[in-house]
Amino acid sequence: MSEQPLRLRSEGGVRAIEVTNVHGTSGFGRSERLAAVGLVVLMLLLAALVFTAQAFAGRSSTGELAFYPCTECHPVTIGPDGNPTSPLPIDFEKHEIELEMHDILGEGDKACLACHDDPSRNPGMLILPDGTLVDVSGDVSRVCQRCHFEKYRDWQLGVHGKDAPKCSSAGCHDPHTPSWIYVAALPPFQGTGIEVRAVSAREPFKPLAAPPVAPPIETPIWLAIAVSLGGLISLGALGYLILGRSKR
Amino acid sequence: MAEVSTTPPGVKRIIGVDFNFAALRTAGPRYWAFVSLLLTVGVLGLMAWGTLLTQGGVVMAMRDSYPWGLWFTNYMYYVGLAAGGLVVYASVHLFGAKQYHPLARLAVLQAGVLVMMALLGIITDMERPWRAMWMLLTPNFTSPFVFTGSAATLYMVICFVDLWILLTGKGGEKLARRMTLIALPLAIYMHTTTAFVLALNKSRELWHTAVMVPIFLTSATASGIALLLITAYIFQRLGIMRFKASMFRSMSTLLATVIIMDLFLLVVEILVVFWPTSAQPGHVVRFSEFLTGSYAFAFVPVLVLGTTAFILLARRSTRHLPALQITASVMYVVAIFLKRYSLMAMGFSVNPLGQPAPPFVPSLVEVLLALGIIALGMLIMTISAKVLPLEVPEDHDEGQESPRVEFAVEPTLEVG
């Protein structure tokens, strides 16, 4: 069997992978060459995607990395009993999240348990209004609905927030401190492994002390004087039109 | 028939149209008094616009609760009124309604001027009108304003081109018919997209209804025909044009038909809002404001005036009476203005946060701007009445080339 070296050849600005045999005759037809070009382009795109994902990896609304290389923090190892161990993060002890608004839900861990399932089972599961559990990749807005049902209804109607398909409460609000809102809405965690989305800067939400008061209408005095003069002229013209010129 | 080159002194032919400027010299003092009145109001409007440009939106009454005010009411109103002209024009050239033939030129002129007024309302509302071109250069296609604004501009151009065709007779009946085939769908498109400005807002309960578009079309057609009837009577009274009584009777029948369709759609809408099995709290609370609350002053007269106008025109035995025709037409023109105000207010009376807002009262600057635009429109009509050959000569088919002998004798367009 003859050796078939790989060569890269440039044809009209298109780089093509060509496989030639030792006798110099082409081993692939036109369709195969096109498929090879497509494969290269696809790989380049994939590489660009991965690079972009790495470059733009930030923190999601829950404080976790938006780009989720799961096994870096959660290595799966085999325990003495031969079964996989619980994939806890390396050197993980406990999450420490400072609550600003939701601290009213309880002291210490009680505040966490208001929304999260028991840590001994799966804290990644959240509690819905009917007591059932939902994964963080599920409809997390319904977790907020338990207390913020009016806002939830407004959001459903499209009155509050942006009624986009992927939009959820956690996409705009930091769920642990909901008074923090994101400048640009974040997509919820989809668990796909790749989130090509930079996390935007956060802005503190400043609630108004009172309903806004509309500024008064300003009318320049000279305009009022001009209107008075114009009104008099118009009245004179109208009077002439209706009554006609007095006959002497 | 060959053109007779006997244009008398004072008649100037510009782009094929004979402008009889001599008629202005022979106009009576009352004519000039009326022009002076319009000019005075127009100057006040210009001053108001200058105030807006230099001092900004603080001189207008539009605030958070009412981001759209009088200008939007007038935009909907004028665009609607323009529909009457097209209905008459299309009836003549598309459906062969010869009884409206003498009215065709006036109808098209009025339609063009009204759409121009509607567009001027948008321009003068802008605090930086020179930025208007960006809407055309970088259009946001999710906004219905892009579609209604461009349609209105195109419609205005088509109206004035139609007028030119009618005045010069160029292209004959064939071109006039073709222009109607363009103008009619464009007019429906314009009214539909104007209604979409309201109907596509899902956060404003009473706007977000599918029947908004047909209501808008029927209101527009009815008020447009009513205004055209009033204008025709005024022009006849001043001796500018002559019409047959049968034409007014036919218009009144058409008006009564469209009015009852308009009222029917409105009643259907109210029924859906209040019917126990379809009523939604947001709709009921808001609409109640317009029937018994602080907005009733604007909406209840719409029902009263509209019903009365229909009753006046409903009887065949009395429909021919000019007094009844004019009264009913004036009532419906007023009713539709109030309806447009109510339509605008229905979206803003209670904001999306559930906070009620008092009825919108325009500021002095907004009123002057609106009056200034009306004065400009009336000025164009007043001067056109003198200068343009609006009256269609007897036995003259619009399809024929204009014989150009109308001014062989001194015209007698004396007003006042």
Question: Per residue in B361-401, pLDDT tens?
Answer: 999 999 999 999 999 999 999 999 999 988 887 655 544 44
pLDDT confidence tier of residue B77, bands split at 50, 70 and 90:
very high
Q: Do residues B79 and B119 touch, judged by C-beta distance below 8 A? A: no
* B82 lies in some domain: yes
- Tally of CB atoms within 10 A around B37: 22
In degrees rounded to 5, what are phi and psi of residue A26?
-70, 135
Q: What is the dihedral of CA B72, B76, B79, B82, to 10 degrees?
A: -130
Q: Which two tokens stand for residue B13?
A: 């032919």
pLDDT at B196 over 50: yes
Smallest Cα–Cα separation from B216: which of B331, B130, B340, B324? B340
pLDDT at B109 over 90: yes
Q: DSSP assignment, residue B201? A: -
* B406 lies in some domain: no
Per CB-CB distance under 8 Å, the chain B contacts of A221 are none
pLDDT confidence tier of residue B416, bands split at 50, 70 and 90:
very low
Smallest Cα–Cα separation from B316: which of B366, B256, B262, B376? B256
From first to last of the 248 residues of chain A, give the pLDDT tens digit: 344 444 444 444 444 334 334 444 445 677 777 878 888 887 787 776 655 544 444 433 343 444 444 555 555 566 677 776 666 655 666 667 777 778 888 887 788 888 888 766 666 788 887 888 887 767 778 888 888 877 787 777 767 765 554 456 666 777 777 766 665 555 544 444 443 344 445 555 555 555 567 788 989 999 999 999 999 999 998 888 888 766 55
pLDDT at B258 over 70: yes
What is the distance between the alpha carbons of residues B68 and B65, in angstroms, rounded to a whole number? 9
Instruction: Give the model confidence (pLDDT) of B270-283 as tens digits.
Output: 999 898 888 877 78
Predicted local distance difference test score (pLDDT) of residue B360: 93
* B409 lies in some domain: no
pLDDT at B403 over 50: no
* B262 lies in some domain: yes
Per CB-CB distance under 8 Å, the chain A contacts of B355 are 211
Burial A190-203 (b: 16+ CB within 10 A, else e): eeeebbbbebeeee
- Tally of CB atoms within 10 A around B208: 16
Cβ separation B202–A157 shorter than 8 A: yes
Q: Which two tokens stand for residue A69?
A: 């290389």
Per CB-CB distance under 8 Å, the chain B contacts of A246 are none
How far A212 CA sits from the closest chain B CA (Å)? 9
* B63 lies in some domain: yes
Cβ separation B47–A223 shorter than 8 A: yes
Instruction: Give the model confidence (pLDDT) of B315-324 as tens digits.
Output: 888 888 999 9
Length of chain B: 416
Is residue B336 helix, strand or coil?
Answer: helix
**Tally of domains within chain B:** 1
Beta-strand ranges (E) seen in A164-219 are: 180-182, 202-204
Which residues 194-223 in chain A show a CB within 8 A of chain B? 211-212, 214-215, 217-220, 223
* B402 lies in some domain: no
pTM reported for the whole predicted model: 0.67
* B410 lies in some domain: no
| CB proximity list for B231: less than 8 A, separation 6 or greater | B106, B110, B381
State the residue range of the domain holding B40.
14-395
Interface residue of B31, B32, B47, B369 to substitute, partner A, most A CBs within 10 Å: B47
* B240 lies in some domain: yes
How far B49 CA sits from the closest chain A CA (Å)? 11
Per CB-CB distance under 8 Å, the chain B contacts of A240 are 29-30, 33
- The average confidence (pLDDT) of chain B is 87
What CATH number has the domain bearing residue B42? Answer: 1.20.1630.10
Residue whose tokens read 């108004």? A208
